[in-house]
Structure formats: structure tokens, C-alpha cells
Amino acid sequence: MKFEEYRLSKEVKRNLEEMGFKRPTDIQFKCLPHIQRGEDLLAIAQTGTGKTAAFAIPIIDKIQQIKFKAFEKSSLIRAVVMAPTRELAQQITQVFNQIGKNTKVKALCVYGGVEQDHQINKLLEGMDIVVSTPGRLFDLVSQGYLKLDKVEILVLDEADHMLDLGFAKDIDDLVNKIPGRRQTLFFSATISTKIKHQAYKMVSSKAIRIQISPKDPVSKNVNHQIVFVEMDDKRFFLQRLIDENEGLKFMVFVRTKVRAERVKAAMERAKIDTLTLHGDVEQTEREINLQAFRTGACNILIATDVSARGIDVDGVDYVINYDIPEVAENYVHRVGRTGRGRAKGKAISFCAKEEKPLLEAIEI
């Protein structure tokens, strides 16, 4: 079934065509009808499956219809999307704005780490959709700039990551501030008892559960390899891989921010330009580094797990697990950076002998 056959506005269909969206992905095909019918949803799908568009398309279309039927010229916040990181919030907002072009549906991204004046001015202009990280969301609510009493749709994206970061109370607080009669869309890359507990507190008892590739959480487009190597020799293997694949895009995952800087220094000694992404990198520098990586100005990004969650960069050829992840689920999130959509990718894990127990915890 093609998007042109769906009951969507002509503006949304035109925008999808311009974005190169002809047919829905698996998650989009399964989610769209339920979201259009106003049903609650619990969806388990890893990054790179098209899940952002799965909720953005019907939300834009629904709000456009509401505004058209009510002849509304002003905007009320009808949808709130909560995301764990600034980068993910920005990417979600970009998708909303692409799909919502020429629809008069306005989306705004709000997040911390920057001055709030610009965000406040935009809210005062009137917005239909707010995409936010937890901290800044509650700052603006407490100051009275963000009104949640008309919210009809609540979306939690990468809910598992939010819980990992300790945002369970923030999620509960948000739920308590918006109307009880609402549609809740709960998206997570992984499922666990903790995730189920949080989800079933929020969605209705009639919520639709959708799970993409439940027995294979990593993309079939990714070729997985393991290299057994001494810890001190990992930098030499990485250098050789990069040299042998000049011009290709690499995301290199390490365990700590100190480790990230050490790997960067080792690559610089080998005359290889790299960028880093970790907790000590300031927001402005993060955005500069991500833009350079996206555009190909620099093709090697060294990142920690927390800092890289939610990053959406097309064309990543290799994911390198320089350090085996301490949490098995993080393997899913790491390798989800490559092999996205119909593209092919490679994931190579460098495993030292002391990391073998961590490797055994991962089902590749």
C-alpha cells in the first residue's frame, strides 16, 4: 500500500512524496491506522525503522483537520512529544516540520543547555506540537509559558532510554499535568519488566501492542563481525580499518568519555581526523561536530552510549564497538546507527579477553 492511498491530506501526501516516502515501513504500516483511529499504542521498534514518521504523519494530519474544521487561526498545544536527548528532540521536530510543511501545523523543539528566551517567544506566537526533553519542559510549564490543558496526544519516544537516565518521575509528572482523556503513544527500542510497568501505567487497557522483529532486534541489513584482540591493540585495528575504507563513515563506540578522548588522540597521531561526542562536549560543539559528521566534513565520530542515543545520521557505513557494551541492550542501539532503511551496514566488535563475559551476554 502506497502513502497516496492513505486517508491523508493532500499537503501531507505531497510532503511525503518530496521526502521520498512512497510506501510505509513496517512500523509505519502497523501504527498509522491505529493512531488515526485515536487508539493508545505500545510500540517496540529499534532506531532506523521509521518510527518517528509513524507517529508524526498521523499527528500532523489530525491537527490539520482539527484546525481546518474549527477555522482556527491561532494554535493550541495539542500534542507533546517527550524525548531523552536534545539531538533526538531536534530530529523529531525536523521530521514534524518536513511533513507539516504548508499545513499551518507548527512544531517547536524545546530543550535545556541554551537560553530559553527564543523558545518562550515561539511559544507565545502559538504552537500546535511541542517536542521536548524533560528538564526544559517542566521549567516552561512552571513559569506559565507552556500550557498543557488542551493536550490530546502524548508521545514518549525512546522510553527505555528515558528510564535508563532516571526520568521515570518526570514522565509521571507530565502525565499528571495533561488531560486524562488523551491518546498515548509509547515507543521503546527494547522491552523489559521496567518498560512494561511504565507503559501500562500510561496507556489504556485497550492499547494496541506492536513489536517489530521481536526475536531479532537488530536490522537484517547489518553484517556483524567480532575481532578478538588485546585491549592495547584495539587502536591499531581501528586505524587499519579506517585506512582501508577511506571516505566511508564510521561511528566508534567507547565506554567512557576519557576513553573517547584517548582514542581520538591515538587516531590523530596516525593523521586521522576524528570528532568526539560525550558528556563533557558543550552543546554548541556537539551541534558543530554532528553537522560535520552528517555532511562528511569528518567521517569518524567517537561516542559514548548516552551521548549517541537518538542521533539520526544517514549513511553510516561502519559501527565499531571499540569497547563491548556493559549493557547488552546498548548493542541494539549502537548497531542501529547503520543499515538503516534499505541501506547495508557493518558492525564490528573489538573484544579483549576480559570482555568475553560481556560479549556472551549479547545475542548477535
pLDDT tens by residue, 54-67: 999 999 999 998 88
How far, in Å, CA of 19 to CA of 36, rounded? 21
- Note whether residue 216 is domain-resident: no
Report which residue type is found at 260.
Answer: A
Angle between helical axes of 234-244 and 257-269 (0-180°, round to 10):
60
How many domains, the chain?
A: 2
How much of the chain, in percent, has pLDDT values that exceed 90? 55
Q: Residue 70's pLDDT is what?
A: 67
Spatial separation of the C-alpha atoms in residues 320 and 318, rounded to whole Å: 6
- Other beta carbons less than 10 A from residue 181's beta carbon: 6
The tally of CA atoms less than 13 A away on the side-chain side of residue 88 is: 23
**Do 44 and 156 belong to one domain?**
yes
Note the pLDDT tens digit of each residue in 74-103.
678 999 999 988 888 999 999 999 999 999
Please indicate, yes or no, whether residues 157 and 193 belong to a single structural domain of this protein: yes
Q: H or E segment at 174?
A: helix 168-177
Torsion of CA 312, 261, 317, 310, to 10 degrees: -20
CA distance 228 to 118: 50
**Interval 312-353: pLDDT, tens:** 788 999 999 999 998 877 888 888 888 877 788 999 999 999
**151 with 20, same domain?**
yes
Q: Is 107 helix (H, G, I), strand (E, B) or coil?
A: strand
Residues 6+ apart with CB under 8 A from 283: 86, 113, 114
State whether 315 and 179 are in the same domain: no
193: number of Cβ within 10 Å: 7
Is residue 7 domain-resident?
Answer: yes
Instruction: Determine contact, residues 152/78, Cβ cutoff 8 Å.
Output: yes
| Same structural domain, 299 and 165 | no
Same domain, 244 and 297: yes
Instruction: In whole angstroms, give the CA distance from residue 127 to residue 117.
Output: 15
Confidence band for 72, pLDDT divided at 50, 70 and 90: low
Q: What is the pLDDT of residue 200?
A: 84
pLDDT tens digits, residue range 235-270?
Answer: 999 999 999 999 999 999 999 999 999 999 999 999
**Cell numbers found for residue 87:** 539531538
Residues 195 and 158 in one domain: yes
Does residue 285 form part of some domain? yes
| Angle (nearest 5°) at CA 323 between 232 and 168 | 150
Here the cell at position 328 is 547488552
Quick one: which of 120, 101, 109, 105 has its CA closest to 83?
109
Residues 86 and 131 in one domain: yes
Instruction: Count how many Cα atoms sit within 13 Å of the Cα of residue 300 in the half-sphere of its side chain.
Output: 21
Q: Is residue 94 part of a domain?
A: yes
Pull the grid cell for residue 200.
501500562
User: Within a domain: residue 217?
Assistant: no
Question: Strands 79-82 and 153-156: what pairing?
Answer: parallel
19 in a domain, yes or no? yes
Q: What is the rounded (10 degree) CA torsion for 95, 130, 120, 307?
A: -70
The reply to whether 93 falls in a domain is yes
> In terms of pTM, does the model score above 0.75?
no
Quote the pLDDT of residue 219.
64
**CB neighbourhood size of 56 (10 A):** 29
Q: Which residues pair with 45 in a beta bridge?
A: none
**Structural domain includes residue 63:** yes
**Count of CB atoms within 10 A of residue 252's CB?**
26
Domain end: 189, 211, 233, which one? Answer: 211
Q: Look at residue 317 in the predicted model and tell me its pLDDT.
A: 95
Q: Is the dihedral of CA 78, 41, 331, 325 positive or negative?
A: positive
Contact indicator for 77, 148 with CB cutoff of 8 Å: yes
- 136 and 206 in a single domain? The answer is yes
Q: What is the CATH number of the domain that holds 188?
A: 3.40.50.300
Per the model's pLDDT, the better-predicted residue between 216 and 6 turns out to be 6
User: Which of residues 211, 244, 259 is at a domain's end?
Assistant: 211
The cell for 47 is 532506531
Domain boundary at 190, 211, 232, which? 211
* C-alpha grid cell, residue 131: 517536542
Amino acid at 26: D
Cα 283 to Cα 90: distance, rounded to the nearest angstrom: 13
Report whether 132 contacts 155 (CB < 8 A): no
Structural domain for 107, as ranges: 3-211
Residues 52 and 135 in one domain: yes
- 186 with 45, same domain: the answer is yes
Residue 71, pLDDT score: 65
Q: What is the pLDDT of residue 215?
A: 46
Same domain, 20 and 129: yes
